[in-house]
Structure 1
Amino acid sequence: MSQPKPAPIPKEKPKARDVRILVVGGTSEEVQFIQEWSEFPDSPSLTFSHVFSVGEALEQIKTDVLDLILFSSSFLAGRNFDLFFKLRAHSLSCPLVVFGKIVDETIVLKAMRGGAQDWIDIASVPAAEVELRLKRAVERQKVSAKELQSLAGELEEARIQLRSLENRDSLTGLLNRQGLQQILSGKIQLLGTQPMNLAVLLIDLDDFRRVNETWGHVSGDVVLKEVTAKLRAVLRGRGFLGRIGGNQFMVLVTGMEAENSRRLAEAVRLAISSSSISLSSGSAVTITASIGGILVSQTSPSIDELLTKTHAALIQSKNDGKNRVCFDRLEHDGGGEERYSLAHILQAMKTGERFRSVKQPIVNLRDLSEVGYEFLSRSSIEVFELPDDFFRVCQEDNMLTLVDHQCFKICIAAGRSLPQNLSRHLNLFPSTLLDIPIRHLLDVIPNGKSKSVYCIEISEQQIIGDPSYLSNAVNELKQAGIRVAIDDVGFGRSCVENLILLEPDIVKIDKRWIHGISRDSVRKRSLKRLLNMSEALGAEVIAEGIELEEDLEVLKELGVPYGQGFLLGTPS
Structure 2
Amino acid sequence: MKKEDSTTLKSWIELNKLVKEKKNLEELLYDRVTGLPTIPLLLKDIEEILQNNNQVGLLCVDVVKYSRIEEIYGFKIFDKVMAMVADILNSLVGGALRGADIISQLMISGNTFAILLSPPRKQSELREEDLLKIKKRINSKITDAIRDSLDYALFKKFGCYVGSAILNYDKEIRFERQIYTVLEDALQDSASEKDKDAKKRLAALKKIIKEEEVHTLFHPIVKLPEYKIVGYEALSRGPGQGEFERPDKLFKAAYQSNLIIELDRLCRKKALAAARDIAPKRMLFLNVEPESVNDPDLRQIAASTLLLDSKLTPDQIVLEITERSAIIDFSAFRSILEYFRALGFKIAIDDAGAGYATLQSIIELKPDFLKIDMSLIRDIDTDNIKQQLVKALQGFGHETGVKVIAEGIETKAELRTLLDIGIDFGQGFVFAYPSEPFPKIRKDILSKLPKKS
Query: 1:460 Cα shift?
Result: 3.4
Provide Cα deviations, 1:438-484, integer angstroms capped at 9, x if missing partner.
43233232356322111110123433345333112211111111111
1:398 alignment partner, one of 251, 258, 271:
258
Query: 1:537 Cα shift?
Result: 2.3
Q: Residue 324 of structure 1 aligns with which residue? A: 195
**What are the ranges of 5 or more consecutive residues in structure 2 without an aligned counterpart?**
1-31, 35-58, 86-102, 106-110, 115-135, 165-182, 436-453
CA 569–221 in structure 1, closer or farther in 2 if over 3 Å, else same: same
Query: 1:534 Cα shift?
Result: 1.8
1:507·1:541 contact (CA, 8 Å) conserved in 2? yes
Rounded to whole Å, the distance in 2 between the matches of 1:397 and 1:312 is 27
Q: Residue 387 of structure 1 aligns with which residue? A: 247
Q: What one-letter code is carried by the residue in structure 2 that aligns with 1:204?
A: D
Provide Cα deviations, 1:415-443, integer angstroms capped at 9, x if missing partner.
11111121111101010112335432332
1:373·1:425 contact (CA, 8 Å) conserved in 2? yes
Determine whether 1:518 maps to 2:381. Answer: yes
Which has the larger Rg? 1
**What are the ranges of 5 or more consecutive residues in structure 1 without an aligned counterpart?**
1-169, 173-200, 231-243, 251-257, 278-285, 294-310, 328-339
Q: Residue 546 of structure 1 aligns with which residue? A: 409
Rounded to whole Å, the distance in 2 between the matches of 1:292 and 1:324 is 12
1:313·1:326 contact (CA, 8 Å) conserved in 2? no
Query: 1:326 Cα shift?
Result: 6.6
CA 276–465 in structure 1, closer or farther in 2 if over 3 Å, else same: farther
Q: What one-letter code is carried by the residue in structure 2 that aligns with 1:324?
A: D
1:384 is paired with a residue whose SS is helix
CA 421–319 in structure 1, closer or farther in 2 if over 3 Å, else same: closer
1:354·1:380 contact (CA, 8 Å) conserved in 2? yes
Q: Residue 317 of structure 2 aligns with which residue? A: 454
2:161·2:191 contact (CA, 8 Å) conserved in 1? no
1:365·1:563 contact (CA, 8 Å) conserved in 2? yes
Calculate the aligned-residue CA RMSD, in Å.
4.3
Determine whether 1:430 maps to 2:302. Answer: no
Q: Residue 307 of structure 2 aligns with which residue? A: 445
Q: What one-letter code is carried by the residue in structure 1 that aligns with 2:270?
A: I
1:289·1:324 contact (CA, 8 Å) conserved in 2? no
1:486 is paired with a residue whose SS is strand
Rounded to whole Å, the distance in 1 between the matches of 2:378 and 2:407 is 9
Determine whether 1:356 maps to 2:215. Answer: yes
Hey, which of these two has a bigger chunk of helix by percent? Answer: 2
For 1:39-188, what aligned pairs fall within 5 Å after superposition?
Answer: none
For 1:452-491, what aligned pairs fall within 5 Å after superposition?
Answer: 452-491=315-354
Determine whether 1:532 maps to 2:395. Answer: yes
1:463 is paired with a residue whose SS is coil
Q: Residue 225 of structure 1 aligns with which residue? A: 80
Q: Residue 366 of structure 1 aligns with which residue? A: 225
2:218·2:434 contact (CA, 8 Å) conserved in 1? yes
2:212·2:266 contact (CA, 8 Å) conserved in 1? no
Q: What one-letter code is carried by the residue in structure 1 that aligns with 2:361?
A: N
1:352·1:403 contact (CA, 8 Å) conserved in 2? no
2:245 is paired with a residue whose SS is coil
CA 348–223 in structure 1, closer or farther in 2 if over 3 Å, else same: same
CA 427–550 in structure 1, closer or farther in 2 if over 3 Å, else same: same
Count of residues in Structure 1 that have an aligned counterpart in Structure 2: 303
CA 207–358 in structure 1, closer or farther in 2 if over 3 Å, else same: closer
Query: 1:536 Cα shift?
Result: 2.5
1:350·1:402 contact (CA, 8 Å) conserved in 2? yes
1:445 is paired with a residue whose SS is helix
TM-score in terms of structure 2 length: 0.57
2:387 is paired with a residue whose SS is helix
2:321 is paired with a residue whose SS is strand
> How many percent of aligned residue pairs carry the same amino acid?
27
Query: 1:341 Cα shift?
Result: 2.7
Query: 1:248 Cα shift?
Result: 5.3
1:374 is paired with a residue whose SS is strand
Query: 1:245 Cα shift?
Result: 6.2
Rounded to whole Å, the distance in 1 between the matches of 2:336 and 2:316 is 18
For 1:270-419, what aligned pairs fall within 5 Å after superposition?
Answer: 290-291=161-162, 315=187, 317-318=189-190, 320=192, 323-325=194-196, 341-380=200-239, 382-419=242-279
Rounded to whole Å, the distance in 2 between the matches of 1:229 and 1:406 is 38
1:341 is paired with a residue whose SS is helix
Q: What one-letter code is carried by the residue in structure 2 that aligns with 1:389?
A: K
Rounded to whole Å, the distance in 2 between the matches of 1:228 and 1:353 is 41
Q: Residue 157 of structure 1 aligns with which residue? A: none
Q: Residue 62 of structure 2 aligns with which residue? A: 204
For 1:257-276, what aligned pairs fall within 5 Å after superposition?
Answer: none
2:220·2:231 contact (CA, 8 Å) conserved in 1? yes
Query: 1:410 Cα shift?
Result: 0.1
Provide Cα deviations, 1:514-571, integer angstroms capped at 9, x if missing partner.
0111111111111111112222221111100000111100100111011111111111
1:290·1:314 contact (CA, 8 Å) conserved in 2? no
1:501 alignment partner, one of 364, 367, 370:
364
CA 391–228 in structure 1, closer or farther in 2 if over 3 Å, else same: farther
Q: What one-letter code is carried by the residue in structure 1 that aligns with 2:63?
A: L
1:317·1:325 contact (CA, 8 Å) conserved in 2? no
Rounded to whole Å, the distance in 2 between the matches of 1:228 and 1:374 is 39
TM-score in terms of structure 1 length: 0.46
Rounded to whole Å, the distance in 2 between the matches of 1:417 and 1:228 is 52
Rounded to whole Å, the distance in 1 between the matches of 2:65 and 2:425 is 46
Provide Cα deviations, 1:54-104, integer angstroms capped at 9, x if missing partner.
xxxxxxxxxxxxxxxxxxxxxxxxxxxxxxxxxxxxxxxxxxxxxxxxxxx
CA 400–492 in structure 1, closer or farther in 2 if over 3 Å, else same: closer
1:487 is paired with a residue whose SS is strand
2:63·2:161 contact (CA, 8 Å) conserved in 1? yes
Provide Cα deviations, 1:471-504, integer angstroms capped at 9, x if missing partner.
1221111111111100000116543321121111
Rounded to whole Å, the distance in 1 between the matches of 2:267 and 2:83 is 30
